[in-house]
């Protein structure tokens, strides 16, 4: 069953081929030289790192003291405190310099879970798991990077 063909004009075809070629060049250039900042033309760097066999694997979390007297790990996702773990990990340095950035974690939790115990003190903690010959050796070691007394 043929219902005809639609061909492109010379200009339309040339323009489309040019756009495609420029796009490919941008993508390759981004992968070779750019950073995530160049999205969508940045490098596909998720899980692209070479991790040595003796690497110290770090994992960042936020521990909270609540007004009910308990200590909990803040659920770092949209449904929990409204912030993803990756966002916190990407901004660790900034939070260390300015712990007040943690205030919005408490605010986010309060907004979504007003009926549950609220956070009074937050700690940004880095857990380190040591690899030996590519295998996990022992439990992680925690280290407190920043502490924030929550403003009410």
Partner 1 sequence: MSATVKPPLGARVAGWFTPKIALARVAWLRTVLYLFVILDMHAFVRDTRLKGEHPGLYQPLLLARIFDLPKPSVANTTALYVVLIVACLIGATNWFPRVAGWVIAPAFTWWVLIGMSDGKVDHDHLALVIALWVLPTVKSQKRGRAAFGDQTRSEAAGWAVRCVQICVIATYFLSWVAKVRSPGWKFTWPGSAVLTWAIVRRPHPVGEWLLHHPWMLHVMQWVGFIAEFFSPVILWLKGKWQLLGALFFLGFHVANTAILLIHFLPTVVCWLAFAPLERIVPWFRKKRLARDARKTEEQPESGRQAEQQAGA
Residues that bind partner 1 (CB under 8 A): 1-8, 12-14, 16-17, 20, 23-24, 27-28, 31-32, 36-40, 42-53, 55, 57, 59, 78, 82-84, 86-87, 89-91, 101, 104, 107-108, 129, 131, 134-136
3-state secondary structure 94-119: HHHHCHHHHHHHHHHHHHHCCCCCCE
Measure the CA dihedral 115/67/109/113, to 10°.
-10
CA distance 135 to 81: 33
Give the residue with the Cβ less far from partner 1, 32 or 114: 32
CA distance 74 to 110: 12
The minimum distance between CB 45 and partner 1, in angstroms, equals 5
The minimum distance between CB 72 and partner 1, in angstroms, equals 18
Give the residue with the Cβ less far from partner 1, 69 or 152: 152
Give the residue with the Cβ less far from partner 1, 75 or 82: 82
Closest CA to 119 of 70, 84, 80: 70
The minimum distance between CB 122 and partner 1, in angstroms, equals 14
DSSP at 36: G
Give the residue with the Cβ less far from partner 1, 133 or 152: 133
Q: Given phi > 0 = left and psi -120 to 50 = alpha, else beta, which region is 102?
A: alpha
Give the residue with the Cβ less far from partner 1, 64 or 105: 105
The minimum distance between CB 54 and partner 1, in angstroms, equals 9
The minimum distance between CB 47 and partner 1, in angstroms, equals 6
């Amino acid at each position: 069953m043929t219902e005809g063909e639609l061909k492109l004009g010379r200009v339309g075809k040339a323009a489309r081929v040019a756009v495609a070629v420029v796009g490919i060049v941008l993508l390759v250039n981004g992968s070779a030289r750019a950073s995530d900042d160049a999205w969508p033309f940045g490098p596909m760097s998720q899980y692209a790192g070479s991790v040595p066999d003796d690497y110290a694997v770090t994992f960042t979390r936020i521990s909270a003291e609540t007004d009910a007297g308990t200590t909990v790990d803040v659920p770092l996702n949209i449904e929990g405190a409204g912030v993803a773990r990756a966002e916190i990990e990407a901004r660790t340095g900034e939070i260390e310099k300015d712990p007040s950035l943690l205030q919005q974690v408490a605010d986010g939790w309060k907004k979504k879970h007003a009926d549950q115990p609220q956070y009074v003190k937050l700690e940004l903690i880095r857990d380190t798991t040591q690899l030996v010959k590519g295998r996990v050796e022992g439990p992680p070691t925690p280290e407190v990077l920043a502490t924030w007394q929550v403003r009410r």
